[in-house]
Chain A
C-alpha cells in the first residue's frame, strides 16, 4: 500500500503541475491577483507531493520492502541504515525521483519567497517551472517508475555496489542535485523574463539568490564528490576528467559565469542578453549532464545502467526544453532593450573577460566530453584523456586567475589602467616571489604547476586587496563573501598544483616486518590480519609510520570483501597533516607472504577541497549578505 501511495502522490503532483501551467498562462496574460495566488498555492502543493513521494520511497528502503522491485534490486536487509537511506538515490529511478522532487520544491520555494518580481514575470516563471516538472514527471511515470512491484517478492535484496556504501554517497548526489536542479529556477526566470520582456536590475536581483544558492550546492557537491572519489576509489587521484565529472563541472562553469554577469545586470543594468543566455545554458548543461550520465552513451568509470529507451526520452525532453528556450531567446532577445554600456577598463570589463574565459573553459570541457561521440558518428570509438583537458584548460584558467585578481580592484563603469596597475603591484610581487622561489628551489618542475602556484600566490594576496582601506566593520557581508570565494580559488589551485608537482609515490611488495620509504615517511608493515564489519570481511594491514624527526602513528588500509554482491574494494587509509596527506592502499598478497603496498605522499593536497569549501562558504556569505540587504531595502521602502 505504501508504494501505491507514493505513486499516487506522483500522479497527483503531475496533474497539479499541469494545472499550474494552465493557470500560470492565464496569470501571465491577465496579471489577475487571484490567479496568481492560486498558482503560488498549487506550486507549493506540487512540491509537497513530490517530497511526499520521495519520502515514501525512503521509507520503503528503510523497511526493506522487497516486494518493491527497486528495493529488491538495490538494497539488502543486512545493509546499515544509513546506506539503506542513501540507497534510495543510489540508482536510476530513485535519483530521478530526487531530481523531480528538487524541481518541485524549488518551484514551491519561488512561489513562497519571491515577492520582488513583477506579477506577470513571476507567473511566467512558475509556468516555465511547471513545464519542466511535467516533462520529468512523465519520464518518471512512464519510463522510470520507482514504485514498481515485483511478484513474488524475493526473500532478500541484491545489495548495492559496495563502492557506494560510504558516507560520501549519502550526501554527495543530493547536494549535486540541489545544485543541478536549483539552476532550473534561473532557467525558468530567464524564460519568464523573455516572455514578458522584463529584463532589468529588478529581475537580476530577484534571480541572484537562487543562482547563488544552486551554485553553492554545486560547488560543495563537486568538492565533496572529488574527495569521495579520491579516498574511495583508492587510485590517489582527485579528478579524472571523466564524463560524469565533466557533467557536474559544466553547469558549475556556466553558473559561475552567470553569477558574475547577473551582478553586472543587477548593479549596472548591463549584459542583459548575455545573462539570459547564461541562465538558459546553465540549466541546459545540468540536463545534458544528466542525460549523458543516464543514457550511458559515453564510456565512463561511473558505470550506470544503459537504457536507450530512457536515453531517447530524456533526449526528447532536452530538445523541447533547450531548443524551446533557445528559440525563445532568438525570437525575443532582439526586442529586449540594450542595457547600459561601459568602458573596457572597468569592473564590467573584467567581468566580461571573466565570463569569456569561463565560457572558453566550458567549451573545452564540452568539446572534450562530446568528442568521443563525434568520433563515434564517424565510426570510431575513442576516449579523450587528461592530456587534452589539462593542456587546453590550464592556460585559460591561469588567465582567468588574473581576471579574478583584477576585477574586484576596478571601479564600475570606468577606471584607469594606472589605478589598476598600482593595486596589482602587491599581488604581482607575490606571484613573482613564488615563481622565483619555485625556480630556485624546485628547478625542472613542469610549467603548469609552477604557473598554478605563482598564480595562486598572486590571487591569494590579490583577493584581499579589495579589503584594503575599507572599514572592516562596515564592509558588507557580500564583499567578504567575494573575498573568501576568490581566496578559496587560490587555495584550491595551490593544492592542485602542489599535488601534481610534488607528490611522491611508492609501490612495493613487502613482507610483514619490512619497511618502505615515501617522501619524509618510513612505513613498516607490522601485521596483516582479518577483520569483519556489518556486511563485509576484510584483510587489514597495520602500518607503523614515522615521519622524519617526528612521532609515529598507525594506518590501517584494508582489502574489503563484500558478499552482497561479491566484490572486493580497497579501503585507503589516509593520514591528514597540516602540510598534506599520506595515502596508503593495501593490494593483494602473494604466496610468499608479500603484500603489495601503494603509498603516496601528497603535499598540501587537502588545499584542493579546503579551497572548494571556502568558495562555497564565500557564496553562502554573499547569499546571506544579499538577502539581508534586500530585506532591509524592502523594510525601508515599506
Chain B
C-alpha cells in the first residue's frame, strides 16, 4: 500500500504528461464526424432564456429554412471569441438558434451586451438535456440544420475566422 502511494504521484504525472504531450503534438482535429450528422434533430422544446428572445422548438425546424444551432454559454470564453464570426454569419442572413447550457438570464443578458447578439432565439437548456440529445459534450458547438430539420454538420469547438469558409460551405450545401 505504502509503495503504491509513494509511486502514485509519478504515475499521475506520467498520465498528465501524456495528455499534455498529445494535446501539444497533435493539434486539435476539429473535423470530427458526429454520430448525429445525417439524422433529424431530436425533438425538443426549450423555454426562452432572456426576455425579448423567443423560445426554441425543434418542431419548427423542418420549414425549408437552413439554420445554425449554436450550443453555447455566457460563462464560456471561446464563445466570446466566436461571437464576431456568428455576427458575420447573421449579417449574411443565417438564422442562428442559441442553446444556452447551464446558464442564467442575467449572465446571458450580460454576455449578449458584451459579445453581441447574433441569435434569433435562445433556449434555456439549464440541465443540458438538449445539449446531450444533440450529441454535444461541450461548449461551444454548432450544428447546421437543413430545411428538412436534419443535421448536416457538427462543428466542435469555436468558430474562428479560419473556420468560416467551411461553415459557409456547409450552410450553402444544406440549402
Residues of A at under 8 Å CB distance from B? Answer: 235, 240, 242, 273, 277, 280-281, 284, 288, 291, 295, 297, 299-301, 308, 311-312, 315, 318-319, 322-323, 326-327, 329-330, 333-334, 370, 372-377, 379-383, 385-387, 505, 507, 598
A381 and B24 in contact, given A330-B7, A333-B6 (Cβ under 8 angstroms): no
B23 within 8 A of A: yes
Task: Please tell me if the beta carbons of A373 and B32 are within 8 angstroms of each other in the complex.
Answer: no
Contact of A382 among B23, B27, B137 (CB under 8 A): B137
A297 and B81 in contact, given A323-B10, A380-B157, A383-B139 (Cβ under 8 angstroms): no
Q: List the B residue with the shortest CB-CB distance to A391.
A: B102
Task: Please tell me if the beta carbons of A374 and B139 are within 8 angstroms of each other in the complex.
Answer: no
Within 8 A of A (CB), among B20-34: 20-25, 27-30, 32
A311 and B24 in contact, given A375-B138, A377-B19 (Cβ under 8 angstroms): yes
B9 within 8 A of A: yes
Task: Please tell me if the beta carbons of B158 and A376 are within 8 angstroms of each other in the complex.
Answer: no
B68 within 8 A of A: no
Seed contacts A297-B24, A315-B24; 16 additional CB < 8 Å A-B pairs: A299-B158, A326-B13, A329-B6, A330-B7, A334-B6, A372-B138, A373-B20, A376-B28, A381-B78, A381-B138, A381-B156, A382-B139, A382-B156, A383-B77, A383-B138, A385-B76
Residues of A contacting B81 with CB < 8 Å?
299
Task: Please tell me if the beta carbons of B20 and A297 are within 8 angstroms of each other in the complex.
Answer: yes
Chain B contact surface mostly: helix
With the chains together, A383 CA to B79 CA distance in Å?
9
Task: Please tell me if the beta carbons of A323 and B19 are within 8 angstroms of each other in the complex.
Answer: no
With the chains together, A300 CA to B22 CA distance in Å?
19
Residues of B at under 8 Å CB distance from A? Answer: 2-3, 6-7, 9-10, 13-14, 16-17, 19-25, 27-30, 32, 73, 75-79, 81, 102, 106, 110, 113-114, 137-141, 156-158
A382 and B157 in contact, given A299-B81, A329-B10, A334-B2 (Cβ under 8 angstroms): yes
With the chains together, A326 CA to B11 CA distance in Å?
9
With the chains together, A318 CA to B157 CA distance in Å?
28
Task: Please tell me if the beta carbons of A381 and B158 are within 8 angstroms of each other in the complex.
Answer: yes
What's the nearest-Cβ distance from chain A to residue B151, in Å?
17
With the chains together, A288 CA to B114 CA distance in Å?
32
Residues of A contacting B114 with CB < 8 Å?
235
With the chains together, A349 CA to B14 CA distance in Å?
31
Q: List 13 A-B contacts (CB under 8 A).
A: A240-B77, A297-B23, A299-B81, A308-B24, A326-B10, A327-B10, A373-B19, A375-B137, A377-B23, A381-B30, A382-B138, A382-B139, A383-B79
Q: List the A residue with the shortest CB-CB distance to B33.
A: A379
With the chains together, A311 CA to B25 CA distance in Å?
9
7 residue pairs, one from A and one from B, having the closest CB atoms = A382-B138, A381-B157, A385-B75, A326-B10, A373-B23, A383-B76, A379-B32
With the chains together, A482 CA to B155 CA distance in Å?
52
What's the nearest-Cβ distance from chain A to residue B144, in Å?
17
Residues of B contacting A386 with CB < 8 Å?
75
With the chains together, A258 CA to B25 CA distance in Å?
33
Residues of B contacting A323 with CB < 8 Å?
10, 13-14, 17
Residues of B contacting A308 with CB < 8 Å?
24-25, 27
Task: Please tell me if the beta carbons of B20 and A385 are within 8 angstroms of each other in the complex.
Answer: no
Task: Please indicate which of the listed interface residues A277, A330, A505, A598 has the most CB atoms of chain B within 10 Å of its own CB.
Answer: A330
With the chains together, A524 CA to B7 CA distance in Å?
65
With the chains together, A598 CA to B114 CA distance in Å?
10
